[in-house]
Amino acid sequence: MVINAAFDLARQNGMEQVMVKNIAEKIGCSVQPIYCYCRNMESLRMNAMEQAKLFVQQYLKTHTEPDNLFPGTGHAFVRLAKEEPNVFKMFILRPRQHISSLDDLYRSETDEKIAASIASRLSTSLSNAKELHLNMLIYTIGIGTIFSVTRPRIPPVEIFARQEAAYHAFLNISFTDTE
């Protein structure tokens, strides 16, 4: 209940609202049980960020068509940034342990089926597909972050057009470098 309340508060109002008094108010109890349950607020916030990760994984699963995995995932990330900006920020800004290269990040954040799907669709090598996917992942996270913090919102059609332009640019780079 405590973790769910913390996640709900962060989802609705941002991580800065995850405070003992707000959690106690949401659950309908005094602050004492919250202090007993939590070792510290940092670990509670980390638990809320893990909930955000699970939320994002489920969101992407339900908002991406299996036969349109690669572009659909990019568009789903942007829709997530629009519909759930606080969850998007928690997901993007959560600490990631044991990441010392972009390859480490790629392996920890992606599903290997996507690279295989890209390779198959584009009739290219798995390494080209991974390179293209990594570049688009970095780009989409960046543009999604911009989208989640701007007011009024940049129109999604403009964001999707930029994603498409980036895709073609990265596609040309990925295929040119290996030929």
Name the amino acid, one letter, at 169. A
The predicted pLDDT at position 73 comes to: 83
8 A C-beta contact, residue 112 and residue 70:
no
What are the tokens at 15? 């991580």
Tens-digit pLDDT profile for residues 13-57: 999 999 999 999 999 999 888 888 887 888 899 999 999 999 999
Q: Tell me the average pLDDT across 71-91.
A: 89
Could you give the dihedral angle defined by the CA atoms of residues 142, 42, 21 and 87, in that order, rounded to the nearest 10 degrees?
Answer: 20
The arithmetic mean of pLDDT across residues 96-107, rounded, is 92
pLDDT digits (tens, 9 = 90+) for 138-163: 998 898 888 888 888 788 889 889 98
| pLDDT at residue number 33 | 86
The answer to whether residue 174 scores a pLDDT higher than 70 is: no
pLDDT tens for each residue of 108-140: 888 888 889 889 988 999 999 999 989 988 998
Between the alpha carbon of residue 7 and those of residues 13, 31, 35, 155, the distances in Å are: 10, 17, 17, 28
Q: What is the mean pLDDT of residues 167-173?
A: 85
Write the single-letter amino acid at 92: I
The tokens describing 174, both together, are 């990925």
Distances (CA, A) of 153 to 51, 83, 126, 144, 146: 25, 11, 36, 11, 9
